[in-house]
Amino acid sequence: MDISHPTILLMAYPCCGKGKIDSEAFNNLVQSGNIQQILLDSSFSNMNSSSLLTKILNDGQNENEQLVSLAEEQNHQEFSANDDIAKQVEFIITNSTRISLARISQYLGKSKEEILLIMQRLEKANKIIRIKDIREMACPDCEQVRIFQIFHCPACKGSNFKQEKLIDHYSCSNISPANSYVDDICPKCRKKIRILGCDYRLMDNYYVCNDCLEKFPQLSSDFLCLGCNSRFEIEKAKWETSPAYGRYNPN
């Protein structure tokens, strides 16, 4: 057993195999002060490292066998990684009133199965609550649910629009933004507008395109996938339903 520069004592065997620690070499190793990490077998997993060390040394003096399994260490590493992911999942959910399994698994690049287990654990621990399933739009190309809605002018498809109140002057049919009626004078016929509902009407929440000057009551929209940059209309969208959780019940 070469102990010249050991940083990790690795007695690695497949899951059910057994590894013998050379107790003399191990004692030298311990005295060298070079042990930074000891791999744990499941039978040691609830012992801290100093009591483990004591046990190994004592057992070593008794020339007993020690079991150190690589598989268990891998599990241990996965467990700490899972712990990190669990923290991220908890952070994301406790900062949302509702968020879906599909979205979190895509944010974190983990499988839905893996994230669902974490969600269920957090739910059992009363850290988050399960709410109604969420149905979300997904990209027709890559199936991600990270979709951004883009609003645009229905005439020129540009996004350079503003929201305006319009005034429709009945007698001359002029429709233009309320602020174009300076001192209540119609910008087209130069007559004064007088009685709301009688000689003019106010059209709330209209949009005016700064580029093509089109006026429209509703914006058009399509969708951009933040995963693959594909742009698509609602008719092309896929739909995905998945379990949802939140920090409290929003309903």
Give residues in contact with Zn ion (CB under 5 A): 139, 141-142, 153, 155-156, 158, 169, 172, 174, 186, 188-189, 209, 211-212, 214, 225, 227-228, 230
Measured from the CB atom, is 3 or 208 closer to Zn ion? 208
CB 18 to Zn ion: min, Å: 50
CB 188 to Zn ion: min, Å: 5
Residue pair 152/159 in contact by the 8 Å Cβ criterion: yes
Measured from the CB atom, is 47 or 142 closer to Zn ion? 142
Measured from the CB atom, is 3 or 155 closer to Zn ion? 155
Q: How far is CA 191 from the centre of its chain?
A: 57
CB 218 to Zn ion: min, Å: 13
CB 180 to Zn ion: min, Å: 11
Measured from the CB atom, is 133 or 184 closer to Zn ion? 184
